[in-house]
Structure 1
């Protein structure tokens, strides 16, 4: 049975991902206790500590790295350790341990600088263009992941996740929504794919999609199924909620 380490197990994305991980032997870790993982004890500790990171990845077949500060408006002082130091230390530990695969949670913020009203769909192959400091930390994570994949036996698949919630919160984030069910399919596809390194957008089959998911379909076999448009009459009007620089005028409903 495949043994997978989940970092950031107490966070929102891990909580939504959990139902899709049945059949895997899971090891979970966070800085605080995580509930809902059954009999699996959460190993608490700081992944910026190289010794703790090495112990966490020891003997696993893959890592799903979700641990990070998710606050797009956070200052650099609140992002450096959880999003930069932790990611680098975790990837170094995985490479040193010979872990075959790391699925790394990036974000659409890494490419948010391309998004403007009336702009074209963002291609994942374009150079990173963050919209905020948070996005810059995710661009760093992708670059560090590339370096690890190029210099070790560890492959790295970066998933630029959109807004992962059971449903969008406003009409403004209909374009970036990632349904929990699509999140689960995407992560499982990334775990199974024979990819040395790749970067893929994680958004659902939204009518108002801003990010091209063609390579996720072609290279990972990820089939999008859900469309945020079904929520247009349920959610309140609003600007794009992911980042101030992603605010854009959407077509009328």
Structure 2
């Protein structure tokens, strides 16, 4: 049985992922107490500490790295340690330990600069164009992951997650919605795929498409089942565009 480390296990996304991990031998970690992971090995500590990161990844076959600051409006001072320094520490520890795969949670905000009302569906192969500092940190994570994947035996699969909740919250995130069951399906597909490195959008099969899932379907075998359109008449209005930080800015030249 494969042993998988889940980081950020006390967070909201990890809680939604948990039901989809049956059959795996789990180790989970966070900086605070972890609840709801019965049967998993729990290790509490700060992954920005290289010694703790090395301990956390020791003996695992794969890492699903969810630990991060999730706030797109956060200033750089709040993002640098969890989203830049820590992701590098975890990837370096995984590489040094010979971990076979890291599934790295990034964000649709990596490509949010392309999103405009009525604009083209965003191709995952386009160059990164973050819409905020948070998106920039996730672009760094993808770039660092590509270096790690190219330099040793650890493969890195980057999942550009959208809004993972039971339902969309506003019209501004109805196209980036990721149903929890589709999150589970996506992560299991990423863990099983034979991919050295890749970046893939993590959204559901939404009628209002912003992000192209073609490479996720082809490389990972990801087939989302849910569509945010069923909630379209229920969600409250939201700002145009993807990111509240820059949605009112003119398109970059």
TM-score tier, shorter chain, comes to over 0.9
Name the counterpart of 2:16: 16
Name the counterpart of 1:177: 177
Q: Secondary structure at the match of 2:104?
A: strand
- Residues 183-198 of structure 1 correspond to what in structure 2 (within 5 A)? 183-198=183-198
Name the counterpart of 2:114: 114
Name the counterpart of 1:75: 75
Pairwise CA distance, 1:235: 1.6
Name the counterpart of 2:136: 136
User: Do 1:112 and 1:246's aligned partners in 2 also have CA atoms closer than 8 Å?
Assistant: no
Q: Secondary structure at the match of 1:116?
A: coil
Unaligned segments of structure 2, at least 5 residues: 249-253
Q: Secondary structure at the match of 2:201?
A: strand
User: Do 2:25 and 2:40's aligned partners in 1 also have CA atoms closer than 8 Å?
Assistant: no
User: Do 2:117 and 2:241's aligned partners in 1 also have CA atoms closer than 8 Å?
Assistant: no
User: Do 1:163 and 1:242's aligned partners in 2 also have CA atoms closer than 8 Å?
Assistant: no
The runs of 4+ residues in structure 1 deviating greater than 6 Å are none
Pairwise CA distance, 1:117: 1.9
C-alpha distance in 2 between matches for 1:247 and 1:166? 24
Name the counterpart of 1:237: 237
User: Do 1:10 and 1:32's aligned partners in 2 also have CA atoms closer than 8 Å?
Assistant: yes
Residue by residue over 1:75-121, the C-alpha shift from the partner in whole angstroms, topping out at 9 and shown as x without a partner, is 00000000001100000000000000000000000000111122100
1:149 aligns with 2:144: no
Name the counterpart of 2:203: 203
Check 1:51–1:106 CA distance in 2 against 1; reply closer, same or farther (3 A cut).
Answer: same
User: Do 2:146 and 2:197's aligned partners in 1 also have CA atoms closer than 8 Å?
Assistant: yes
Name the counterpart of 1:29: 29
Name the counterpart of 1:6: 6
Pairwise CA distance, 1:240: 5.2
1:127 aligns with 2:127: yes
C-alpha distance in 1 between matches for 2:157 and 2:62? 11
Name the counterpart of 1:251: none
Unaligned segments of structure 1, at least 5 residues: 249-253
Name the counterpart of 1:49: 49
Name the counterpart of 2:251: none
C-alpha distance in 2 between matches for 1:200 and 1:141? 13
Q: Secondary structure at the match of 2:5?
A: strand
Check 1:239–1:21 CA distance in 2 against 1; reply closer, same or farther (3 A cut).
Answer: same
User: Do 1:173 and 1:239's aligned partners in 2 also have CA atoms closer than 8 Å?
Assistant: no
Q: TM-score, normalised by structure 1?
A: 0.95
Q: TM-score, normalised by structure 2?
A: 0.95
User: Do 1:4 and 1:26's aligned partners in 2 also have CA atoms closer than 8 Å?
Assistant: yes
